[in-house]
């Protein structure tokens, strides 16, 4: 059987829940900003695919040795 609550107790609980929801929303917005900055920094620091360039040097060296 549920414990009866007074109107002021339920109002205080509801108010606290709204405060927590607002704080959580702020934290989620901050986390999204941080995630976006990290993703942007990672993309800016991405190295190009050097495989094709490396193959050019290998092919060039192989052709020089074959002479």
Total count of domains within the chain: 1
Query: For residue 12, is it within any domain?
Result: yes
Band (60; pLDDT cuts 50, 70, 90): confident
**Mean pLDDT calculated for residue range 11-40:** 94
33 is in which domain, residue-wise?
7-66
Query: For residue 35, is it within any domain?
Result: yes
> 51 or 27: whose pLDDT is higher?
27
Query: For residue 41, is it within any domain?
Result: yes
Report the half-sphere exposure of 37 (CA within 13 A, side-chain side): 6
> 61 or 44: whose pLDDT is higher?
44
Task: Confirm whether pTM is higher than 0.85.
Answer: no
Which sign, positive or negative, has the C-alpha torsion 11, 14, 20, 22?
negative
CA angle, 19 then 29 then 26, to 5°: 20
Query: For residue 1, is it within any domain?
Result: no
**Mean pLDDT calculated for residue range 26-34:** 95
């Amino acid at each position: 059987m549920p414990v009866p609550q007074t109107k002021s107790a339920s109002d205080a609980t509801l108010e606290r829940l709204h405060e927590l929801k607002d704080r959580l929303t702020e934290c989620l917005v901050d986390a999204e900003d941080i995630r976006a900055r990290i993703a942007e920094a990672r993309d800016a620091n991405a190295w190009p695919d050097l495989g094709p360039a490396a193959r050019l040097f290998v092919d060039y060296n192989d052709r020089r040795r074959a002479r």
